[in-house]
Chain A
């Protein structure tokens, strides 16, 4: 029994960590090669990782659990996740269609929450950058945002914001805003001192300095923050489903629901994998936007030779 209880969260956790784990090996910033074979060569390492991972999954599942039923409850084989989780592709009650149906609210919450985090986070960083006093006044509370255990304050959040869309956004913003604030602030404060002198010589206004110097120069750090935040936002949107029951239910609800009955476990895995893939997609999209925005000038986006 204990094995049954332990296995799913462990796997879920692993799957949630996938955005960063897979993302790290996905060649986001690899050179745009003119030669197709280089692109193929770039794909080989992550594919090997994937094959090894699936192999370990099979091995663990086969060696750890006796009998098909027990295995299916605890850690079904990968192919079972496909046949019993993702298939049928188009059926209202099981398979991929309900998964995508539950994904949509999660996508919405993630995107809206991330947008709020970016706008608010950059604004707060800009305010902090205005003076040391402002930074001292606000920074401890930004840190507090990060350190307060979201799970522990969910009852409080329910009281304050209800348990619908609004509170889900609050959870996403609580998780996603901190990396945006700290990275943007770091970027703003890393502006070259000589560049500042250059602008001082032209007696520019504070806002011109911000628009034409500090924000562009903070861009790479800011985008790095947004990339971290995008992963956090996905996790926040899913976690919120575990605690708030009203409003549009997302993929978190589906995962939780399919965990309850042993027969539905493959579907739970399918849901978890889909949610993780969404995290990966978010990571890739933000990475692509970053590369596009800074590829001409920043070292991080330079072709590697």
Chain B
């Protein structure tokens, strides 16, 4: 069950997690709201803890899982270990305790920054992951074209990153992850640096992507509104060492109009999460 992983090298496929985890009950039922169990579990943390070599205790006893068609967002104070969660899931950081199950061959990671290679055009950037996975030229060009269309960047294929706006860069970064059609998407506060309007537009677009692609998503953000708008479930994490101190099932269906942000129910959930966060800071 334990996934051995070295920082740079070997990946191992695991197909076991779907069978024996389907029967698991969610162990992280802290706070209110029943976690929705949808489809197969694609990412699972079990009593995960992380202590860095310098003694920083980043995560403590974190357990939850994300299934296909689930969009789980973690909100929490800065430096509480939210990003560490993603780094552990993707294998960039090795955990020091607990378990983490995920098929590492099928992860899409969207960084805080667009992390586009500045010397490559949009098209070549979108092709990058496919190229690094040895997908032949014709095939990856086809995949890139489709992904570029999916994020509405058609017509900008030959531009370089510095010719793009912040929002377009993030779209390009999304397209790069979409090319390999990952089953699990990890988002490390991807829209934090964008202005409010661009951010909301990208939220709308991401939501419709999620509706059509049905991946499992683990999303990190500071914005409560963003979390509630996108997610099927929101987890609140405490200050270091990060623990799950709140768990909210979001009662909106997959079709969420832009205006839902101004709904009373929406505001009510935001308020409750905000209260939890105040406690988290304390």
**Which A residues form the contact surface with B (CB < 8 A)?**
192, 194-195, 197-204, 208, 212-213, 216-217, 219, 294, 296-299, 302
Contact = CB atoms under 8 A, between A and B. Distances in A.
Nearest to B129: A202
The secondary-structure label for the interface of chain A is: helix
A200 B128 CA distance: 13
B266 interface: no
A200 B117 contact: no
Contacts of B128: 198
B258 interface: no
Given A197-B111, A198-B115, A203 B9 contact: yes
Nearest to A204: B132
Given A202-B129, A213-B117, A297-B119, A194 B111 contact: yes
Contacts of B90: 201
Given A197-B109, A200-B92, A296-B160, 10 more contacts: A194-B113, A197-B92, A201-B91, A201-B107, A202-B133, A203-B11, A296-B119, A297-B119, A298-B118, A298-B119
Given A200-B7, A201-B107, A297-B161, A192 B132 contact: no
Contacts, number: 53
B10 interface: yes
A179 to B, nearest CB: 22
B134 to A, nearest CB: 10
A194 B115 CA distance: 7
Contacts of B8: 200, 203
A208 B10 CA distance: 16
Nearest to B131: A212
Contacts of A200: 7-8, 92
A299 B7 CA distance: 32
Interface centre among A198, A212, A299, by most chain B C-beta atoms within 10 angstroms, is A198
Closest CB pairs A-B (n = 5): A202-B132, A297-B118, A194-B115, A297-B119, A296-B160
B132 A199 contact: yes
B160 A297 contact: yes
Contact of B162 (A194, A198, A297): A297
A217 B160 CA distance: 15
B263 to A, nearest CB: 36
Contact of A219 (B11, B113, B119): B119
B271 to A, nearest CB: 34
Contacts of A204: 132
Contact of A195 (B7, B115, B160): B115
A216 B117 contact: yes
A203 B10 contact: yes
A127 to B, nearest CB: 19
Interface centre among B8, B90, B131, by most chain A C-beta atoms within 10 angstroms, is B8
Contacts of A302: 162
